[in-house]
Amino acid sequence: MTIFEAVREATGTLKNSGIENPVWEAGLLMGFVLKKDISYVYAHYDNSLSHEDCEKYKDLVRIRANGMPYQYITQNQEFMSLDFFVSSGCLVPRPETEILAEAALSWIKEKNSDAVRVLDIGTGSGAIAVSIAYYAANTVVHAIDISREAIETAKRNAKKHKVNNRIHFIQKDFFGWEPDSPYDIVVSNPPYIPGPEISLLPAGIINYEPVTALDGGPDGLMFYREIAVKINKLLNPEGTVFVEVGAGQARSVSDIFENCGLLTSVYRDLSGTERVVRGDRK
């Protein structure tokens, strides 16, 4: 069988199971099997596949057709132009979270100070923490997550991008934790899906992504309230907090932050949805 024939067959299988970009994903999975990038796949369509690669490819296509997000198959997701290793114990970093990382990075650049202390709450794969450390060399980042597997994944990503000497990982429950001293900037993409809505999420999310990464309590807002309760311990007097929010939550989260004395503003994502709430201490 040639690469072309295998990819064509896989495209059909993926299409039949309702996968949105079947051609692209079929090529991507072929690249993963061949340990090459997708442009290699397109440029070598006439090459024949070894029996072993062919069987491996069919297995992966079957797994994808059954609903596993391809990022858990290839164990990789790009975020802020960096490759992140992802495992089933952590959320796949989402493109809209780049809005938060970019807003935080421009705040840090403007600050222009020697050692900016950053806290990332619910670090997951480390997407936000590692990108900040990577793109702003003047940062020292603390990253907390309740999940051992997430922390292990984040550590691996910090090493991969050579910022492990500037990130300190803490495996703790944020609700039972207090920092030794406050930070200049706090960032977080916390779990924010309201508990009752979790079962309504697409199958690719509920069947594969860890529920601890999604469940924001009865109304989805419990992490924002906990940040507000702890704000004086978390943030320096000149400090700023940036949080990602779910669609429709920006007003409620701004209220929570304003009630603890922060000045708030909101950033939209590329689809126009209010996605990040910023809170500045006066």
DSSP 2: B
Which partner, ligand SAM, ligand GLN, none, binds residue 193 by CB below 5 to 8 Å per kind? ligand GLN
Q: Six-digit token pair at 38?
A: 């997708």
Site string for ligand SAM, 162-201 (x = CB under 6 A): -----------xxx-------------xxx----------
Residue 23 binds ligand GLN, judged by CB under 6 A: no
Identify whether the C-beta of residue 182 lies closer than 8 Å to the C-beta of residue 118: no
Which partner, ligand GLN, ligand SAM, none, binds residue 240 by CB below 5 to 8 Å per kind? none
Q: Six-digit token pair at 80?
A: 């802020």
AA identity, residue 213: A
In sign, the C-alpha dihedral spanning 218, 224, 228, 229 is: positive
Identified binder of ligand SAM from the candidate list 27, 69, 122, 220, rule CB under 6 A? 122
Residues 6+ apart with CB under 8 A from 159: none
> What residue ranges in the chain does DSSP mark as E strands?
76-79, 82-85, 116-121, 139-145, 167-171, 183-188, 235-244, 262-268, 274-281
In angstroms, how far is the first alpha carbon of the chain from the final one?
A: 66
Identified binder of ligand SAM from the candidate list 11, 71, 123, 157, rule CB under 6 A? 123
Q: Which of residues 148-207 bind ligand GLN (CB under 6 A)?
A: 189, 191-193, 201, 205
Residue 157 binds ligand SAM, judged by CB under 6 A: no
Closest contact distance (angstroms) between CB of 35 and ligand SAM is 26
Site string for ligand GLN, 70-109 (x = CB under 6 A): ------------------------x---------------
Residue 124 binds ligand GLN, judged by CB under 6 A: no
- For 149, counting Cβ atoms within 10 Å of its Cβ (0-12 exposed, 13-18 middle, 19+ buried), the class is middle
Q: Which residues bind ligand GLN (CB under 6 A)?
A: 94, 189, 191-193, 201, 205, 214
Q: Which residues bind ligand SAM (CB under 6 A)?
A: 90-91, 93, 97, 122-125, 127-128, 144-147, 150, 173-175, 189-191, 212-213
